[in-house]
Amino acid sequence: MKNYVVGIDIGGQTCKLGVVDAAGKVLAREVIKTSDNPDAAVIVGELAAAVRKVIDVSGKKGEIRGIGVGAPNANYYTGVISHAVNLPWAAHSEVPFASMLSEACDGLPVAITNDANAAAVGEMTYGSAKGMKHFIMITLGTGVGSGIVVNGEVLYGSDGFAGELGHTCAVRDGRKCACGKSGCLEAYCSAIGVARTAREWLDSSDEPSLLRKVSDITSKDVYEAAVAGDKLARRVFDFTGRLLGEKLADFVAFSAPEAFVLFGGLARAKEFLYQPTLDAMEANLLSIWKGKVKILFSRLDESDAAILGASALAWETR
């Protein structure tokens, strides 16, 4: 029996990978810094070598069922990474990554999807959404990602790219988003968005704040100021939570999830985000859903969550 899988999380600077058992225990892990080489074949070779190493360390050679990969702009249907701007080797092209990695790993089957969808599969397999068939994963990190699960399956849509909820409009004619649109949820409710709100409010008032002592404000700075009782920092989280909750109410209207699961660096500020998000969601729900939809936070160990999310895909490989 092949009772183990490999999970790979691909980022712009590093890739995390590990061997995982059916209970979600990471038996061996590895982090590699990816080179700036624009040749995808070189990157695939580096990853294949790391896969072989982590399998050897785990002692499970010959017992690996498959490989699951979470990556930006990765298409579950085609196995292609398409125009992923933060990956130098896939920024301007379509890379048939799944087939390339499978070939480099002696034919091990490879399943791939975008990182937010991988996180959703991970939560359904190992985490807060275990046993749920209808939920939406919201990742609050540098950007805002989402994975939509309906009837126990990730919603990929007609082309494999469904679920870009971070790029729905939160503020009409609002901030310019990195995607080129204006007013996206990501422009306000990501880690970058939280820091930007704080900077804008500081620039437009003389209100005292601990953040005035910080030269280059990050969301972590805003969180630490909120913990210390800073009123402006706490209002930033109230504002962020309100916008997020309003959009969650919109999302309920099209898939009626049992719950939203929040994950990512910004979700660590849950003591400041949870109540304003819940209040805004409830205030904007149709009466048929009021009091029915939960807001949960990921239970996966943060250091292993990306590996677990990706690895969960591999149980579906044949």
The model's pLDDT over 27-48, given as tens digits with 9 standing for 90+, comes to 999 999 877 778 999 999 999 9
Angle at 307 between CA 154 and CA 267, to 5 degrees: 75
If one counts the domains in the chain, the total is: 2
22: CATH:
3.30.420.40
Q: Based on the fold, state whether residues 12 and 44 are members of the same structural domain.
A: yes
pLDDT at residue number 271:
97
Q: Based on the fold, state whether residues 90 and 144 are members of the same structural domain.
A: no
Taking each helix axis from N to C end, the angle separating 219-227 and 191-203, rounded to the nearest 10 degrees, works out to: 70
pLDDT-based confidence at residue 19 (cuts at 50, 70, 90):
very high
Per-residue pLDDT tens over the stretch 208-220: 999 999 999 999 9
Give the residue numbers spanning the domain of 75.
4-122+303-314
pLDDT at residue number 56:
97
Q: Based on the fold, state whether residues 66 and 188 are members of the same structural domain.
A: no
Q: Based on the fold, state whether residues 84 and 210 are members of the same structural domain.
A: no
**Mean pLDDT of the 78-97 span:** 90
**Mean pLDDT of the 224-244 span:** 98
Q: Based on the fold, state whether residues 261 and 141 are members of the same structural domain.
A: yes
Using CB atoms within 10 A of its CB, is residue 11 exposed (0-12), middle (13-18) or buried (19+)? middle
Q: Based on the fold, state whether residues 156 and 293 are members of the same structural domain.
A: yes
Cβ atoms of 194 and 187 closer than 8 Å: no
Q: Based on the fold, state whether residues 227 and 273 are members of the same structural domain.
A: yes
Q: Based on the fold, state whether residues 99 and 138 are members of the same structural domain.
A: no
Question: Average model confidence (pLDDT) for the chain?
Answer: 93
3-state secondary structure of 31: strand
Q: What are residue 136's phi and psi, to 5 degrees?
A: -125, 125
Q: Based on the fold, state whether residues 292 and 308 are members of the same structural domain.
A: no
**Cα atoms found within 13 Å of the Cα of residue 298, Cβ hemisphere only:** 31
H/E element holding 137?
strand 135-140
Q: Based on the fold, state whether residues 151 and 96 are members of the same structural domain.
A: no
Per-residue pLDDT tens over the stretch 94-138: 999 999 999 999 999 999 998 889 889 889 988 999 999 999 999
Strand segments (E) across 14-143: 14-21, 26-33, 64-70, 81-82, 94-95, 110-113, 135-140
**Which amino acid appears at position 158 of this protein?**
S
3-state secondary structure of 310: helix
Cβ atoms of 46 and 31 closer than 8 Å: no
Give the residue carrying structure tokens 């400041």. Answer: 272
**Cα atoms found within 13 Å of the Cα of residue 31, Cβ hemisphere only:** 7
Query: What is the pTM assigned to this prediction?
Result: 0.88
pLDDT-based confidence at residue 318 (cuts at 50, 70, 90):
low
Name the least confident of 68-72, 193-197, 278-282.
68-72
